[in-house]
């Protein structure tokens, strides 16, 4: 053992994930590239400001979290599955496929079922 391994894509993503799901948006954003592209259900978010605004709209609704899987796919990609808990549901899965370059997240392919997170009784 001569040196610590470099920060992996999985390290970057898990750090990001832990930060935003604990409400620390500033720390989460240190792991996100300025030119991030996020493909979310029904909309694409381009750039860090748009991405932060999107995430900041959801984060306050989070009441808990059940992590299911977090796995590297080669050197540059990471796959996450988890159950975000909100007042509406704790059984609606979310999945993300991240691309990491130079230690920052440059792409996030995000999937969740919007209907499952709608408030009860919403049309």
Binding range to its own copies, per CB under 8 A, among 3-11, 27-35, 56-64, 67-75: 67-75
Stretch (H or E) spanning 52: helix 48-58
Does residue 92 interact with its own copies by CB under 8 A? yes
Please pick, from the candidates 8, 95, 103, 106, the single residue that binds its own copies as defined by CB under 8 A: 95
Gap between the Cα atoms of 13 and 103, Å rounded: 9
Does 116 help bind its own copies (rule: CB under 8 A)?
A: yes
Query: Is residue 47 within 8 Å of residue 107, measured between CB atoms?
Result: no
Give least dist CB 26 to its own copies, A. 28
- How far apart (Å, rounded) are the C-alpha atoms in residues 65 and 90? 8
Question: Is 93 near its own copies (CB under 8 A)?
Answer: yes
Spatial separation of the C-alpha atoms in residues 74 and 10, rounded to whole Å: 10
Residue (4 or 115) nearer to its own copies, CB: 115
Taking residue 119's Cβ as centre, other Cβ atoms within 10 Å add up to 9
46 binding its own copies? (CB under 8 A): no
Region 11-40 residues binding its own copies, contact defined as CB under 8 A: 39
Structure tokens at 100: 């990491």
Residues engaged in binding its own copies (CB under 8 A) = 39, 41-42, 68-69, 71, 73, 77, 79, 81, 91-95, 97, 109-116
């Amino acid at each position: 053992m001569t040196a610590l391994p470099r920060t992996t894509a999985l390290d970057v993503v898990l750090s990001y994930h832990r930060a935003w799901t604990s409400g620390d948006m500033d720390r989460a954003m240190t792991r996100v590239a300025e030119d991030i592209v996020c493909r979310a259900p029904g909309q694409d978010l381009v750039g860090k400001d748009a991405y932060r605004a999107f995430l900041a709209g959801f984060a306050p609704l989070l009441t808990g979290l059940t992590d299911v899987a977090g796995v590297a796919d080669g050197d540059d990609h990471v796959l996450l599955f988890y159950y975000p808990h909100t007042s509406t549901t704790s059984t609606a899965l979310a999945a993300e496929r991240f691309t990491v370059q130079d230690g920052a997240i440059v792409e996030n392919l995000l999937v969740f079922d919007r209907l499952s997170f709608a408030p009860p009784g919403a049309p």
